[in-house]
Structure 1
Amino acid sequence: MLGKIMRLSVEDAIAQVSAPVLDRLQKELQWPSDISVYDGEGMSIIETSRRRSPFVVNREVLGYKPSILMSAMGRAYLAYCDERRLAVILEASRKRGGKEAELASNIKHIDSMLSEIREKGYAERAPDITTLHSDEEVDLDAIAVPIIVMGDVQASLNLVWMKSAYSEEGVKERFYLSLKNASEELANIFQKNHIY
């Protein structure tokens, strides 16, 4: 019970200190962002700027658990977590069955995907991922970066946008620079406030 209370308070602290950074990022890029943490079972969104975004993009996401192997946030987390935790997460995914079990069983694919994420610095969502139900059917895209404190990944930060809004090449790389700066700011805030 104490562990659960402690985890909730850490998640609350992360959400509280992250909100102003998410707000600034949303004002800069217009599109919303989310913070997610690994809760022992998968990724869980604990803070978002979607409610304040001028764009309607699945605003009620708090508590939503995106796929750890198909979402940008889950992939960013996996690419930077330690090998022991990665092995535990992949084993749990294999036991759950379904599409995630299939993905988790393909070790060559996982290794290649995670290496590519580390090389680029950001993760992309799987092209065939199913998003949250929305009143308006929109085709969304997202990238995510890890928030690393003292060498350990603490959370993931994403940016979500409508694919139809951009046709030019390089939009992900442009968004990545702002997202990376925000993740570094958050890492410094987490460390300063002993949230790790």
Structure 2
Amino acid sequence: MINDAAEKKSDGVRAVERAIDLLQALNRRPFSTLHDLHRETGLPKSSIVRLLRTFEAKGLAAQSSSYGTYHLLGRVKSLSSGFHHEPLVIEVAEEIMIDFTKREGWPLALALFDVNAVVVRASTIPHTSLSFLHSSLNMRWSLVSRALGRCYLAHSPANERKILIEIAKQSKNPEDAAAHDSAAIARMLKQVRERGYALRDPTIESRSSTIAVPIFDDERLVACLGLTWITAAMSLDEAVDQYVPQLFEMTDAISRELAKRSARQPLSPHPPQDDRAFY
């Protein structure tokens, strides 16, 4: 009898562990296939499907019928409603960002992906007067028009990139209208990956300009870091020459610190230059 009870308790613990492993795997990318989840968790596909059905019933995840992928829903945030710490990348990046702005004057922003845009989760605007905005925290930026969004889109895995572009096409945000011009989007993405940095569409806001670069944890894209300057104060070429190397120094430092806190070495702090499709 005691052994039976202990065995049932052990089965229950394993079930919870499997659910947590699957939630963590879903959280690593915007969209995951069943194969992705099986490869990352090592769980049998039948078990993954049962857990996904449970998550769907609880409003934590959903399946995209168009692409056969799974993604988390906003309700998953209820699991952390009593936890107030920021993601590790923000914790690591903020001090580095503030040091830069205090030294150079220009504000920085760090953005994370959220459903169909990137959201500014850290900003150094409070540490400078060189900004047209009083704050950019929690602002949502287009994936196809804004520098931070373009940076994230260009350095996302090719399969996710295609889905994100399709999602942008359904957006009612006027800044996402460019997603319908497939040729222009392909050129923009190719240019971003070749340069290693993204620029904002100059027709959006001509008074200022932004350069954005990716931040990787191991080889996984986790955020983008952007510098904004007043256009009248500095040309694009001057900004690129002076600040792109500094931006990469900062993202390298952030990636190294993320690796250190995870007790491993970063494989590639810079975006991998490979032959993946740009669109």
> Which TM bucket (shorter chain)?
0.7 to 0.9
Question: How does 1:77-92 map onto structure 2 within 5 Å?
Answer: 77-92=152-167
- Residue 257 of structure 2 is aligned to residue 189 of structure 1: yes
Name 1:155's counterpart in structure 2. Answer: 223
1:110 matches 2:178: no
Deviation at 1:72, TM superposition (A): 0.6
| Partner Cα distance (1:59, 1:190) in 2 | 30
Q: Residue in 1 aligned with 2:234?
A: 166
**Distance in structure 1 (CA, Å) of the matches to 2:226 and 2:176:** 24
TM-aligned CA deviation for residue 168 of structure 1: 7.8
Gaps of 5+ in 2: 1-59, 61-74, 263-279
Does the residue aligned with 1:43 lie in a helix, a strand or coil? Answer: strand
Offset, 1:98: 5.3
User: Which amino acid is 2:137 matched to?
Assistant: L
Where relative contact order (Cα < 8 A, 6+ residues apart) is larger, the structure is 1
- How far 1:102 sits from its partner (Å)? 3.3
CA–CA distance in structure 1, aligned partners of residues 89 and 95 of structure 2: 11
Residues 1:64 and 2:149 are matched in the alignment: no
After TM superposition, list the pairs within 5 Å mapping 1:26-41 onto structure 2: 26-41=101-116
2: distance between equivalents of 1:145 and 1:62?
A: 18
- Counterpart-to-counterpart distance in 2, 1:168 and 1:39: 29
CA deviations 1:28-82 (Å, max 9, x no partner) are 3210100000022310000011101132431311111012111110011111100
Instruction: Name the structure 1 match of 2:44.
Output: none
Q: Note closer, same or farther for the CA distance 1:9–1:188 as it changes in structure 2 (3 Å cut).
A: farther
CA separation of 1:32 and 1:101: change in aligned 2, threshold 3 A: closer
How far the C-alpha of 1:151 sits from its partner, in A, is 1.5
Whole-Å separation in 2 of the counterparts to 1:103 and 1:143: 19
Q: How far, CA to CA, are the matches of 1:53 and 1:98 in structure 2?
A: 30
Structure 1 range deviating more: 103-112 or 147-156: 103-112
* Identity of matched residues, %: 22
- Aligned residue for 1:49? 124
Asked if the contact 2:102–2:127 (Cα under 8 Å) also holds between the matched residues in 1, the reply is: no
Rate the CA distance shift 1:49–1:115 in 2: closer, same or farther, 3 A.
same
1:140 to 197, 208, 220: 208
CA 1:96–1:77: 2 relative to 1, 3 Å: same
Q: Secondary structure of the residue that 1:37 maps to in structure 2? A: strand
Q: Do 1:93 and 1:100's aligned partners in 2 also have CA atoms closer than 8 Å?
A: no
What is the CA–CA distance in structure 2 between the aligned matches of 1:168 and 1:123, rounded to whole Å?
12
Q: Which residue of 2 aligns with 1:175?
A: 243
Cα distance in 2, alignment partners of residues 16 and 98 from structure 1: 30
* Number of equivalenced pairs: 187
TM-score by length of 1: 0.85
Deviates more, 1:48-57 or 1:151-160: 48-57
TM-score, normalised via structure 2 length: 0.61
SS state of the match for residue 226, structure 2? strand
Computed over aligned residues only, the root mean square deviation of the Cα atoms, in angstroms, reads 2.4
| 1:85 Cα offset (Å) | 1.5
- Counterparts of 2:217 and 2:88 in 1: how far apart (Å)? 15
Q: Choose which of 192, 200, 220 in structure 2 pairs with 1:125.
A: 200
**SS state of the match for residue 70, structure 1?**
coil
Q: Which residue of 1 aligns with 2:76?
A: 3
Q: CA deviation at 1:16?
A: 2.1
